[in-house]
Amino acid sequence: MPKKNKILFLPKYPRMGASSRLRTFQYLPLWEAAGFDVTLSSFFNKQYLEEHYAKRPIDKGNVLACYKRRWKILRNAADYEYIIIEKELFPFIPFGLEKWAFKQGPQYIFDYDDAVFHNYDLHGNKWIRSLLRDKIDRLMARADQLWLGNEYLAARAQEAGAHNIMDLPTVIDLNKYQLGPVKENATVKIGWIGSPTTLKYLDQLKPVFEGLKKEEAFTLHIIANGQGIGLFDLEKTLYWSEQEEVAMIQQLDIGIMPLNDTPWEQGKCAYKLIQYMACGLPVIASPIGMNKEVVRHGVNGFLASSHEEWTRYLKILLEDPYLRQIMGTAGRKLVEEKYTLEHNWQKIQSYLNINSEVPHL
């Protein structure tokens, strides 16, 4: 018999993994304040993430231990009122071997902020496509509830026959994202923040930066665990940390989010843009997926489809500090209205009928 107010979180990564930090870890104090007995067990561990980010060989023995740990904790699945799963229980394991975990008792909530179904249905290996192409669809259809980060994911879930879908974008804790001091930068700072695995998107803009440097004075700040894209004197690479990321963004003048136009990117949440806007920055982004929802072209930033457009809009913002200020103010207002932790928590409270007397942020 499940125990009321006992909840198990099964994120994919420990706190250093961005998706898990934002989709699970930042909510834990709110769950605990609401009277829930919280248990958490990530699938992968710190060792795996460090190897992955550094592009070192993955320790297969460690990965096997991660699978064993997940099997073990699911033995007591029936003890919980809710089990909230980020993406899937077991990566690259067919649905038929996962479904045993759906026992009577707890409600299973699946949380998606990426198009993980494309890891399978678009995989280069035909055997993986054959075995796993509909795995995520079947999980979505089987779940008691789905929490989805954007419209692309919701459309896929509806096609799969899912029910009880809640729109839950990836958001910021507004208390941590205060507007920074008035900038007195002698040189305008263009900034990008992200994990080492997504530097490929920034790399595609090298010709844009190299061309602009002949006409404009600026520096490119890359906040990504000390890795950059090799633009020499153009570039300043900063070591990301959870404690310092807001202060690093506050020092920027323009925030950017380039993406490739593939099915995977269509399913990405626009978290970088939300971070920039929360700090009062104007933004430029590729018109891909959720970026088109967050960026209101000409109001809080620009959408750029080509190198020519990236060059044009960067040049406009580099040369016009007043426009940067106006757009930054509009972006901050949008975040306050739609993309805050408090806003999402109120949705969750209503969706699960959690006592409304619990204090908000």
Least confident of 8-17, 238-247, 326-335: 238-247
> Per-residue pLDDT tens for 16-33?
999 999 999 999 999 999
Q: What is the CATH number of domain 188-338?
A: 3.40.50.2000
As a dihedral over the C-alpha atoms of residue 287, residue 293, residue 296, residue 301, rounded to 10 degrees, the angle is: -60
Distance of CA 126 to the CA centre of its chain: 28
Q: Residue 119 has which token pair?
A: 């890891």
Give 198's pLDDT tier (boundaries 50, 70, 90): confident
Report the C-alpha gap between 237 and 220 in whole angstroms: 8
pLDDT at 193: 95
Q: What does the pLDDT average to over 336-345?
A: 97
Give 359's pLDDT tier (boundaries 50, 70, 90): very low
pLDDT at 360: 47
> Per-residue pLDDT tens for 267-293?
999 999 999 999 999 999 999 999 999
| 147-168 CB burial, b ≥16 within 10 A, e <16 | bbbbbbbbebbeebebeebbeb
pLDDT of 318 above 80: yes
pLDDT of 323 above 70: yes
pLDDT at 54: 82
CB 173 within 8 A of CB 25: no
pLDDT of 7 above 50: yes
pLDDT at 357: 47
Q: Which of 263, 328, 266, 256 is nearest to 292 (CA)?
A: 266
CB 237 within 8 A of CB 227: yes
Q: What does the pLDDT average to over 176-190?
A: 83
Q: What does the pLDDT average to over 231-238?
A: 71
Q: Which of 202, 333, 194, 315 is nearest to 258 (CA)?
A: 202
Q: In terms of pLDDT, which residue wins out, 161 or 53?
A: 161
For every residue of 329-357, DSSP letters joined together read HHHHHHHHHHSBHHHHHHHHHHHHT--TT
Q: What does the pLDDT average to over 108-118?
A: 96
Helices of type H across the chain: 18-23, 28-33, 46-53, 60-74, 95-98, 118-121, 126-132, 135-142, 151-159, 199-203, 206-212, 245-250, 263-266, 271-278, 291-294, 307-319, 321-338, 341-352
3-171+340-352 and 188-338: identical CATH topology: yes
Give 231's pLDDT tier (boundaries 50, 70, 90): low
Least confident of 9-23, 230-244, 342-356: 230-244
Counting residues of the chain whose pLDDT is more than 70, the rounded percentage is 94
Rounded alpha-carbon distances, angstroms, from residue 65 to 13, 55, 185, 323: 14, 20, 49, 53
Which fold does the domain 3-171+340-352 belong to in CATH? Rossmann fold (3.40.50)
> Per-residue pLDDT tens for 126-151?
999 999 999 999 999 999 999 999 99
Counting residues of the chain whose pLDDT is more than 90, the rounded percentage is 80
CB 51 within 8 A of CB 57: yes
> Per-residue pLDDT tens for 46-98?
999 999 888 899 999 999 999 999 999 998 888 999 999 999 999 999 998 88
Domains in the chain: boundaries: 3-171+340-352, 188-338
pLDDT at 104: 63
